[in-house]
Amino acid sequence: MISLVKIFLCLLLTTESTGFISSFCNRIVKTKLSANLDEREYKYKKEYYKFLNEYDLLKINKNLLLSGSENTSIYDKVIKDRLEKYFIFESNYEKILKFNNNSNSFKLGLNQFADSYDIFQENNLMKEEIKKNNLLKIYLKQIIKNPNYYIDKYNNISSELIWNNTYISEVKDQGNCGSCWAFSTTGALEAMMRINNFNVNRLSEQELVDCSNENNGCNGGLMHLAFDYCIKNNGLVSENDYNYNASDGICKINCNKTDISNIKKVNGSNIINYKFTIPRSVIDLKASLKKGPVCIALDASPFEFRFYKEGVIDIPSSNTSSINHAVLLTGYKEYENGTYWIIQNSWGKKWGELGFAKIKITNGDGILLSQLYGVYPYL
């Protein structure tokens, strides 16, 4: 009450008073404002500092890095230089803490998106979403064309199946580009090649981004259209010959103006066909995995997926759910509450469980709409 009276008197007297009274009032107001700003803006300053340090985002002298002791001046400098990003970090961090305090089947954690991700900045998701209504027509044509394929396919489905690191590539990072469809495509191709005893390091996602004209580069695409490109163009070149830069560019293949116009395609990447999985069919997805990892698409919009850390994702779909992200389905495994899918994402190894996630298997569309679109290549 006393402090409120002082501030009120200051507001009355400031316009007419000078000297001591004016100085006294200014000190009170500044102290009050500073305290509020420190309490609000710097609530998680140590956590933010450690996050910036871990992801090598600090813009100050490395000799000043945190060594277990308080250093408010460094905290303040870092936060003031990145004030807008700090607010995003604070909001995301509090949501993560709140989620983890509840009893859930999985946990969230900070990752590279902590001070950049909000609902208006989904820059690495596909802007060209996959339309659910268009998928069923594709699958029906496939089933009618070769029904015997599906009769044989469903024999000997095991209770668990996991493709390990002998066959799948290391986790990659697509960066700030909606090219997940290209990474899902190359992931499936690389695994298929190893299963069939071809040597492969890494195929070029950038070739697909730049040259697969039926797709939309960093704005999104479809994995079966990427496979169409591979069929028409005798496969893909290697990442070493056409490296990834997370941006749209002019196609360098069959272009006389580039040094790689005549680079040979990687042997074994020249697939002859591909198959779709049947929408909403758990059995068909499991059966498809017998051939190798499967390209699937899902809804990556939920906050819980963006900051997934560990455990089995089990969240309901919302009315705004849409298919906007591609991943690689690498297997499935039983656990105490049922069975979960294992996916490999293309957001680097610091996302999720070293770049992987578990999604509970349910009937129908699947958690995160993960059981609607699937496609896999074969030689």
Question: In CATH, what number is assigned to the domain containing residue 259?
Answer: 3.90.70.10
pLDDT of residue 4 exceeding 60, the answer is: no
In this prediction, residue 6 carries a pLDDT of: 44
**How many percent of the chain have pLDDT more than 90?**
63
Q: Are residues 177 and 37 in the same domain?
A: no
Please give the residue range of the domain that contains residue 61.
2-108
In this prediction, residue 15 carries a pLDDT of: 39
Report the SS3 class of residue 161. Answer: strand
Examine residue 245 and state whether it is found in any structural domain, yes or no.
Answer: yes
Catalytic residue among 92, 215, 295, 325: 325
The confidence band for 74, taking pLDDT boundaries of 50, 70 and 90, is confident
Examine residue 126 and state whether it is found in any structural domain, yes or no.
Answer: no
Examine residue 326 and state whether it is found in any structural domain, yes or no.
Answer: yes
Check if 345 is active-site.
Answer: yes
The alpha carbon of residue 55 and the mean position of all alpha carbons in its chain are separated, in whole angstroms, by 16
Q: Are residues 77 and 162 in the same domain?
A: no
Examine residue 178 and state whether it is found in any structural domain, yes or no.
Answer: yes
In this prediction, residue 13 carries a pLDDT of: 38
Catalytic residue among 92, 111, 124, 345: 345
Examine residue 241 and state whether it is found in any structural domain, yes or no.
Answer: yes
Q: Are residues 76 and 6 in the same domain?
A: yes
Examine residue 123 and state whether it is found in any structural domain, yes or no.
Answer: no
Closest CA to 219 of 346, 123, 302, 112: 123
What is the distance between the alpha carbons of residues 4 and 370, in angstroms, rounded to a whole number?
Answer: 57
CB 325 within 8 A of CB 297: yes
Examine residue 271 and state whether it is found in any structural domain, yes or no.
Answer: yes
Token couple for 233: 């163009």
Q: Are residues 145 and 89 in the same domain?
A: no
Mean pLDDT of all residues in 30-48: 59
Q: Are residues 243 and 307 in the same domain?
A: yes
What is the distance between the alpha carbons of residues 328 and 297, in angstroms, rounded to a whole number?
Answer: 8
Q: Are residues 95 and 137 in the same domain?
A: no
Check if 177 is active-site.
Answer: no
Number of other CB atoms surrounding residue 217 within 10 Å: 22
CB 194 within 8 A of CB 169: no
Mean pLDDT of all residues in 205-219: 96
CB 235 within 8 A of CB 269: yes
Q: Are residues 90 and 223 in the same domain?
A: no
Q: Are residues 140 and 19 in the same domain?
A: no
Q: Are residues 189 and 332 in the same domain?
A: yes
CB 41 within 8 A of CB 34: no
Q: Are residues 101 and 142 in the same domain?
A: no
Mean pLDDT of all residues in 148-164: 89
In this prediction, residue 317 carries a pLDDT of: 82
CB 189 within 8 A of CB 175: no
**What is the number of domains present in the chain?**
2
152-156, 230-234, 258-262, 364-368: least confidently modelled range = 258-262
Q: Are residues 154 and 94 in the same domain?
A: no
Examine residue 119 and state whether it is found in any structural domain, yes or no.
Answer: no
Catalytic residue among 180, 218, 230, 295: 180
